[in-house]
Amino acid sequence: MLLHFTKMHGLGNDFMVVDLVTQRARLNNDQVRRFADRHFGIGFDQLLIVEPPQNPDMDFRYRIFNADGGEVENCGNGARCFARFVRDQRLTHKNEIHVETCGGPLTLTVENDDRITVDMGIPDFTPAAIPFEADGDHILHVLDVKDERWQIGALSIGNPHAVLQVENTETAPVASLGPAIESHPRFPARVNVGFLQRLSPHEARLRVFERGTGETMACGTGACAAVAHGIRRELLVSPVTVHLLGGDLTITWDGPGTRLFMTGPAERVFDGRVYLT
């Protein structure tokens, strides 16, 4: 079978996007891993799939698979690419698009400047919701990693995140500490790990080691988690510009119990076809 796809990216966080509204196919984990390979496949951080909604109040179902083949709950940069894709493919003409994900419903809004705003919902700091093994909701948790103690924030943006404040993202131990925290036993579903550097109340730098993928050029949910944690600690004040390796995102959040919004670009790279075997 010949499968049509589009390669897209949000600030360098890159995706293979597949329309399974007008096409019929089933992709297994082995196929996802082969397509994700940057030497022998298409190469991407995540595979995004557009499906008909299961809920009649939604416009689409949005599914996300990491490069290791595992399905995950949410991807913010992917959500922006999803919105541009369904519009480019004329699957919808709406400016406000409602999608269902494994992590809950999302609202995607195409702005006049072609940037996309995603309503990411209400950040959840409850350990059981992340999931994270802890004795309660604390702004900072102590985590023992490699014979060292680190203070982290832990929260869910529809998917699990740990956030560490660092003095400088350029020298942060992302390559060594990222995978150690990602697979820490206190995070039973593993976790995305953000390394946050505060520049001013409205500006920050961030690097993210993504669960099942490794460090990426950008992570939308990671930026949302870092800002929510920073605002909760009174390090940051909304709105916040987050500088990631691939570019900038704007995060707006009024504090605990309120919805968080992420705004940024989405770019189409090329269209292609691949044989499913």
Residues catalogued as catalytic? 75, 219
What CA–CA distance (Å, rounded) separates 113 from 177? 38
For the chain, the 3-state helix, strand and coil shares in percent, each to the nearest 5, are 15, 40, 40
Q: Where are the alpha helices (DSSP H) in 135-173?
A: none
The count of other CB atoms within 10 Å of the CB of residue 241 is: 16
Q: Where are the beta strands (DSSP E) in 111-232?
A: 116-121, 141-145, 148-156, 160-165, 192-200, 203-210, 214-215
All residues at 6 or more sequence positions from 94 whose CB lies less than 8 Å from its CB, including other chains:
59
Amino acid in position 48: L
226/207 Cα distance (integer angstroms): 10
Measured between alpha carbons, how far is 58 from 53 in angstroms, rounded to an integer?
6
Compute and round to an integer the Cα radius of gyration of the chain.
Answer: 18
